[in-house]
Amino acid sequence: MEGAPMLDTTTFVGLDVHARSIKAVSLDVMTGEVRCATFGYDAGAVAEWVRSVDPKARCVYESGVTGFDLQKRLSGLGVDCVVGAVSKMIKPSADRRRKNDRNDAEFLARMLSVGNVVEVWVPDDECEAARDLTRALEDARDDLSRAKQRLSKFLLRHGLAFDERTPTGRRKGNWTRAHWSWIESIRFAEGADNDVLAYYVDAVRRAAEEKARLEGLVEAEARKPRWRRRVDSLRCLKGVDT
C-alpha cells in the first residue's frame, strides 16, 4: 500500500542510510525549503535533528541491507519513520545519472511528500529473529552444498568418481554410507593431497552438523505458540515442512 502524506505534517525527510553514515534531507512542501544534514549511524542524533526541523515530520529510507534497525530506533524515539520498498522506487533517468547521497535522500523526501512510497511491513523483534533463524538455516544448507561440491571436484580432478552399484546394477547414491566408506578408503601417494582430502571431508561433516543443529532450532521455533497453528496448516501442503 502506498503511504499517503500525513494531513497534519508538511515536512518530509528522506534518509540515505549506510552502515556508518546517514544523509538526511528535509522538505517543507508549504515553503519549498530544503535542509540537509549528515550523521554517523546514530538514531539519537537523527531524531534530535528531525525534531528541530519539525516535530511532526515524517521520515523514510529505502529497504535494503541495513534492515529495520534504524526504523525501530527512530520510532522508539518518537519519530514517525517508514521503510520504503526499493523495488517500487522508480527514479527518472536524470536522477539516476546524478546519483549521490544527498540526491537520493531528497528523492525519498519528495516521493514521500506526494504519497509515492510503498511502505514495507516492519516485523517485530520476535518475528525478525525467527526470520533470521530460517535464513541462517538456508545459509547452512548452501554451505553444505558448496562443501560437498568442493570435495567432489577435488576427487574428480584426481580421476576419482564414486561408481559402486547394487546387485541389480543400479548406481548407489552419493553421500550414502557406501559413498562415505569409499571416500574414507582413498589414499593418495602425496601427503599434501591426503591433507587436502581430510580438510574437505571435515568441512562437509562440520557443515552437515551445523545444518542439523539449525534444523533442530527451527523446529523448536516453529513449535512456539505464535507460529504453531500456521506452521501446522502449512504442513498440510505436500512438500512443505520446517
Per-residue pLDDT reduced to its tens digit, 163-206: 999 999 999 999 999 999 999 999 999 999 999 999 999 999 99
Instruction: Determine the pLDDT at residue 97.
Output: 62
User: In angstroms, what CA-CA distances link 15 with 64, 143, 202?
Assistant: 13, 35, 46
Instruction: Determine the pLDDT at residue 1.
Output: 47
Instruction: Determine the pLDDT at residue 36.
Output: 98
For residue 8, the tally of other CB atoms under 10 A from its CB is 7
At 75, the pLDDT band (50, 70, 90 cuts) reads very high
Separation CA 45–CA 39 (nearest Å): 7
Instruction: Determine the pLDDT at residue 198.
Output: 98
Instruction: Determine the pLDDT at residue 95.
Output: 62
Q: Are 138 and 219 in contact (CB under 8 A)?
A: no
| Ordered domains of the chain (ranges, CATH) | 2-118 (3.30.420.10), 125-234 (no CATH)
SS3 readout for the chain:
CEECCCCCCCEEEEEEECCCEEEEEEEECCCCCEEEEEEECCHHHHHHHHHHHCCCCEEEEECCCCCCHHHHHHHHCCCEEEEECHHHCCCCHHHHHCCCHHHHHHHHHHHHHCCCEEECCCCCHHHHHHHHHHHHHHHHHHHHHHHHHHHHHHHHHCCCCCCCECCCCCECCCCCHHHHHHHHCCCCCCHHHHHHHHHHHHHHHHHHHHHHHHHHHHHHHHCCHHHHHHHHHHCCCCCCCC
Cβ neighbors of 236 (< 8 A, separation 6 or more) are none
Residue reference for cell 549528515: 38
* The amino acid at 176: T
Q: What is the pTM of this model?
A: 0.83
What the block records as the C-alpha cell of 171 is 548406481
Instruction: Determine the pLDDT at residue 26.
Output: 98
Task: Look at 6-10, 85-89, 167-171 and tell me which has the smallest mean pLDDT.
Answer: 6-10
